[in-house]
Amino acid sequence: MAKKTVVDIMKKKAAGEKIIMLTAYEFIFASLLSSCGVDMILVGDSLASIFAGHENTLPATVDEMIYHTKAVVKGAGDSMVITDMPFMSYHIDLSDAKRNAGRVIKETGAQAVKLEGGGELVLDVIAGLTQIGIPVVAHLGLTPQTIHQMGGYKGQGRGDAAQKLLDDAKRVQDAGAFSLLLECVPVELAKEVTK
């Protein structure tokens, strides 16, 4: 059975169909999600909290993401697998980001990586990764890798921050992200971004 691809996801979006993405960290749950018709399975850096009991996602490492993603890929059936790039794995420079993302894709069989934020550094990384053939899912709103800067796990995109989130969504799309994960933003703002 053929894996779902970026092209398949884009066709669903163009047709106005719902796209289902859920998170898994291991083989059995990935198998269950795939059997239910999930389009995309995200291997989240939240595994730092879920599996290791850390207070937040920051301790997740590239090696841990690779280990869990390998297991998910084996169980994912035709679902597309996306792997979170953990904190500081793409923040130093573009060369470091390419090396880490390339390693994740090559060693796991995942079809895409996910990056948090919409600042200039992240935009450069999105463009750089897509130029070498690594599809990118962008992540805006509540971005757990910036938890200390945000002051905790709080809803985002309210008031004046709504326009910035809209602008960032356009910028990550223009940089080459094929998909956008929105977390903890108002429903009306999410609808506007989706348009």
Q: Any idea which residues carry the catalytic annotation?
A: 183
Q: Is 56 exposed, middle or buried (0-12, 13-18, 19+ CB in 10 A)?
A: middle
Tokens of 189: 């703002």
Report the alpha-carbon distance of residue 5 to residue 25 in Å, rounded.
20
Type and span of the H or E element at 191: helix 187-194
Strands annotated E in the chain: 21-23, 40-43, 80-84, 112-116, 136-141, 179-183
How many whole angstroms separate alpha carbon 126 and alpha carbon 192? 22
Token reading at 131:
């130029």
